[in-house]
């Protein structure tokens, strides 16, 4: 079975075939950096990280582009509110975003272009649209895309014309559905938020940015374009229309991730229900817990966030971690290297990145591996341990990856290990003198502290519940 992906454009799961054999071009709409990111923002980055890892595992050479929108009305408003330069706010939040991605183990894209660095490519593309009759210039110097000139408009989101009327009416627009390609500079706006163009000073509209940057780094046509379902319309619909109207093949697949919601409502800064990686860390959740939580849900499914659900993910991750560490300690870390992905795991990943099924396969294998360790079957335990680690690594969740090492956790683990070792030695001495009541009491006290002791052919082993 080869990779199959759900294509939003055709509303179907399709066999993935790249335009160029052996190479895949991927464009992901990045964030507008008017504020720091929350985990709802980060879901697309994690989802696409899983996709990119799987494409590369399959043998493809992947060019992955994830842009940064660093000029936007919201950024200008934020600068005015805070009395700061708009570009300082954008850069500050861009760095926070990069740190959050890194904390979650998201691999850096091949290219991460900023909108402000590609104004020339945008004005060139707008000029093509004007020349082809798909855009028009107003007296004020604004440039609008003429939706009526493109009959296929709506093909991505499958919306009816009456459902696409803009709420922001403008007397300069010919049609309420028309969208801005170039915004003329207005009195009172920062002078450094304007660039020269054939139509006068101004700045690009949001939608033209991605079309121009995708073309710059991936060519006139590429394989996969993605982002959240919340920007399918109007952003992606407008991208598709302007790119095709300019004569570009653009994207072959449209892949959209579902939203991360809070109490059934999309997470947003305006609702004040944002949750950052740092804020969750203060509540005891590690970045790896967040990544596991986001990865274990199928990327297209909406997820209702709760701390209870994140706590369950944390416990599930710890069970897998305990098995991998137990195997490495009992048989040597080298025995967990070079494992194979199970056919069931591969089939799940090829099935539109069905990560819930893939994670279930990993948990089943870990249970089987723990049973093999308990039975003293070292050969089976080593084989299963290596497989579990390989599957987790494919998901960016390898417990032995140095990225997930926390010096504070390491110190705490060492202290707990030493204390439990003393307790187990006392238990062994009690059993040796046939004082089984004392031995049971030590085991029960450890259990009360959340530590489970199992007696195996190679001696007692313990795990933290």
Q: How many CB atoms lie within 10 A of CB 301?
A: 11
Which helix (H) or strand (E) element contains residue 429? helix 407-432
Integer CA distances (angstroms), 158 to 8, 114, 233, 459, in order: 10, 30, 10, 63
Contact indicator for 229, 237 with CB cutoff of 8 Å: no
Please check if 239 is assigned to a binding site: yes
Name the 3-class secondary structure at 39: helix
Long-range contacts of 89-92 (CB under 8 A, 24+ apart): 89/33, 89/34, 90/33, 90/34, 91/33
- Give the whole-angstrom CA distance, residue 6 versus residue 197: 39
E strand segments, 283-409? 303-305
What is the DSSP annotation of 30-65?
--B-SS---HHHHHHHHHHHHHHHHHHHHT-EEEEE
Q: Is 210 annotated as a binding residue?
A: yes
Task: Return d(Cα 394, Cα 390) in angstroms, integer.
Answer: 6
Q: Are 49 and 12 in contact (CB under 8 A)?
A: no
What element of type H or E holds 282? Answer: helix 277-282
80 is in an annotated binding site: no
* Sheet-wide strand order for 135-137: 135-137, 143-145, 179-184, 202-204
Instruction: Compute, in degrees rounded to 10, the torsion defined by CA atoms 117, 119, 125, 129.
Output: 150
| CA atoms within 13 Å, Cβ hemisphere of 106 | 28
**How many angstroms separate the CA atoms of 47 and 229, rounded?**
13
Q: Is 421 annotated as a binding residue?
A: no
Q: Do β-strands 250-257 and 221-228 pair in parallel, antiparallel, or remain unpaired?
A: parallel
Strand partners of residue 177? none
Residue 283 known to bind ligand: no
Question: Tokens for 453?
Answer: 């002791």
Give burial (CB, 10 Å; 0-12/13-18/19+) of 289.
buried
Question: What are the structure tokens assigned to 325, written together?
Answer: 């560490």
- Which candidate, 44, 65, 50, places its Cα nearest to that of 3? 50
DSSP 8-state symbol, 171? T
- Name which of 241, 209, 214 is nearest 225 in CA terms: 214
28 in Cβ contact with 48 (< 8 Å): yes
Binding positions? 29, 210, 235, 239, 269
Annotated binding site for Zn(2+): 29, 210, 235, 239
Task: Give the annotated binding-site residues for ATP.
Answer: 269
């Amino acid at each position: 079975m080869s990779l199959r992906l759900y294509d939003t454009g055709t509303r179907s799961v399709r066999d993935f075939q790249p335009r160029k054999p052996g190479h895949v071009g991927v464009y992901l709409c990045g964030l507008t950096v008017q504020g720091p990111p929350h985990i709802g923002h980060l879901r697309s980055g994690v989802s696409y990280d899983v996709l990119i890892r799987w494409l590369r595992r399959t043998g493809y050479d992947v060019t992955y582009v994830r842009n940064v929108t660093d000029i936007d009305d919201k950024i200008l408003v934020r600068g005015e509110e805070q009395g700061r330069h708009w570009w300082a706010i954008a850069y500050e939040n861009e760095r926070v975003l990069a740190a959050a991605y890194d904390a979650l183990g998201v691999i850096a894209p091949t290219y991460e272009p900023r909108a402000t660095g590609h104004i020339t490519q945008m004005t060139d593309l707008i000029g093509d649209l004007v020349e082809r009759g798909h855009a028009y210039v107003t007296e004020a110097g604004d440039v609008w895309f003429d939706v009526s000139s493109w009959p296929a408009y709506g093909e991505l989101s499958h919306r009816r014309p009456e459902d696409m009327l803009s709420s922001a009416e403008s007397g300069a627009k010919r049609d309420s559905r028309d969208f801005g390609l170039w915004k003329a500079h207005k009195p009172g706006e920062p002078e450094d938020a304007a660039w020269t163009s054939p139509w006068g000073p101004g700045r690009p509209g949001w939608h033209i940015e991605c079309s121009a940057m995708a073309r710059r780094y991936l060519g006139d046509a590429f394989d996969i374009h993605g982002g959240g379902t919340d920007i399918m319309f109007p952003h992606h619909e407008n991208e598709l229309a302007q790119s095709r109207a300019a004569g570009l093949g653009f994207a072959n697949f449209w892949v959209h991730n579902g939203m991360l919601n809070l109490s059934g409502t999309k997470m947003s800064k305006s609702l004040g229900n944002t949750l950052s990686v740092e804020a969750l860390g203060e509540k005891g959740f590690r970045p790896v817990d967040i990544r596991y939580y986001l990865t274990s849900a199928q990327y297209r499914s909406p997820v209702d966030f709760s701390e209870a659900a994140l706590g369950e993910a944390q416990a599930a991750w710890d069970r897998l971690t305990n098995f991998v560490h137990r195997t490495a300690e009992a048989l040597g870390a080298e025995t967990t290297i070079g494992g194979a992905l199970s056919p069931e795991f591969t089939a799940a990943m090829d099935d539109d990145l069905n990560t819930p099924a893939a994670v279930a396969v990993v948990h089943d294998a870990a249970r089987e591996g723990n049973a093999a360790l308990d039975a003293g079957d070292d050969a089976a335990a080593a084989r299963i341990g290596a497989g579990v680690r390989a599957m987790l690594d494919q998901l960016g969740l390898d417990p032995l990856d140095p990225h997930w090492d926390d010096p504070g956790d390491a110190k705490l683990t060492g202290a707990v290990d030493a204390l439990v070792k003393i307790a187990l030695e006392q238990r062994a001495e009690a059993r040796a003198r046939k004082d089984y009541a004392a031995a049971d009491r030590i085991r029960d006290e450890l259990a009360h502290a959340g530590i489970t002791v199992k007696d195996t052919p190679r001696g007692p082993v313990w795990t933290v519940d």
